[in-house]
Amino acid sequence: MLKRYSILAFVVISVEVMLLFLFRTPLKDVVRVPRTFEDIVYNTQVYAASVLPSLFSSSEVKTRVSKKQFVVKHTFLEQKLIVFGLVNIKEVDSSIAVNLKYATEDNFLHKNLYGELKNCYLQKDIAVKLAKAQADLKKKYPFYSLIIYDGVRPLSIQETMWNEVQVPEKLKDKYVSDPQVGSLHNFGCAVDVSIINENGWEMDMGTPYDYFGELGHPIAEQRMINEGKLSWRQFENRKLLRDIMTESGFTIISTEWWHFNGASLKEAGAKYHIVE
């Protein structure tokens, strides 16, 4: 009887030793304790002191699929414009081209005034009007597009322009609005635009953007044509731009073919705040 129990005890001990050998977990496999439920469900590492899960689990291991999150970064000036309630024109109509001249050195002051700002911001109702103008232009001429050279302009930058523009004092207000009076650009209610073709080439308007002189004045166009300084083709290009913009609710000014107002100064003052 004693011999029989001894054999049984030996068998039991042998089985336990075998189980311990089979199911032992090397120290290197005990990496860390999971901190979250997601760690337990999705991570492929073994956390317990047993390899049973890896022995009996499915051959297909669940892995966590991480999706890249793209965070839109705004410049300080852009954040300021958003706080004032203005919208990025690209979010209203992405087909409109943008080349902010005052965010480059290609302007009459030959300096970057907007820093890293590359997007054009306008009051939402003005942006909607501009999108309508773009749609009308595309309907008539699918190979043409509006291009924006300036939209909202903070008053502080308006003051810099006023102080540094190199023209006689009596002519200043023909090209730069007096910051003491304010400009519709300061409200985000004016836009400077032209037309480009499918290759990005600007239509010939007779002068470049921000040209200081009568040749850039819509009020002087007929005389410029008579004097041979403005061609009929250049005049027709300007007329197309004016027709598209005015039919969408914009108004023109007499001294800049590229400038269009989306509201009056009185309306803008009643509805919006000047962007400082």
Q: Do residues 89 and 96 lie in contact, with contact meaning Cβ atoms separated by under 8 Å?
A: yes
What residue spans define the domains of the chain?
2-56, 76-271
CB neighbour list of residue 124: distance below 8 Å, 6 or more residues apart = 85, 86, 87, 92
Residue pair 193/140 in contact by the 8 Å Cβ criterion: no
Among the listed residues 247, 256, 267, 276, the single catalytic one is: 256
DSSP H helical ranges for 117-257: 124-140, 155-164, 172-175, 184-187, 221-226, 232-247
Q: What is the pTM (predicted TM-score) of this model? A: 0.72
Q: Tell me phi and psi for residue 87, to 5 degrees.
A: -120, 150
- 132 pLDDT above the threshold of 70: yes
Confidence of residue 27 (pLDDT cuts 50, 70, 90): very low
Locate 240 and state its tokens.
Answer: 């197309």
Domain 76-271: top CATH class: alpha beta
What does pLDDT average to over the chain? Answer: 83
- pLDDT higher than 90, residue 170: no
Taking the C-alpha atoms of residue 167 and residue 177, their distance in angstroms, rounded to an integer, is 13
Annotated catalytic, 227?
no
253 Cβ contact partners less than 8 Å away, ≥ 6 residues apart: 218, 259, 261
